[in-house]
Amino acid sequence: MAVVDATKETFHDLVGSGVVLVDVWADSCRPCVALAPHMESIASANPDVTVVKLDASKARRLVMSLQVRGLPTMLLFSDGQEVDRITDPNLNAEQVDAWLSRAREKLQTAPNQEV
């Protein structure tokens, strides 16, 4: 599945069902830009996860309402509910993979609960 670009208008529909990984990013964030190609790999390797990119510079109010305090931030949603997040200015592809794997395992053992 391809990475989907979210806007403030489409965000809630995109995260409303299934498991959704949201990459909150900005062009001015070097780690965000470095992670961009890896998000495509995550989407290909996890066809049951929708991967969504949210440009923080174009959806500031939405990003504030999500209480994102730094970039890059990855949010994991399950059926419209945020279940986990990771924020780290030094975030790399391996950390994202490990975090997503752990979060998905927890989701399978405790659905609809924060992981």
pLDDT in tens, 40-81: 999 999 999 999 999 999 999 999 999 999 999 999 999 999
29 labelled catalytic:
yes
Catalytic choice (3, 14, 15, 29)? 29
Identify the active-site residue in 32, 66, 71, 74: 32
Annotated domain spans of the chain: 4-108
pLDDT value for 112: 53
Helix axes 30-45, 93-109, angle to 10 degrees: 50
Could you tell me which of 56, 41, 107, 55 has the C-alpha nearest to residue 77? 107
Alpha carbon distance 30, 8 (integer Å) = 23
Give ∠ CA 74-10-56 in degrees, rounded to 5.
45
- Summary mean pLDDT of the chain: 94
Indicate the pLDDT class of residue 1, thresholds 50, 70 and 90: confident
CATH code of the domain occupying 4-108: 3.40.30.10
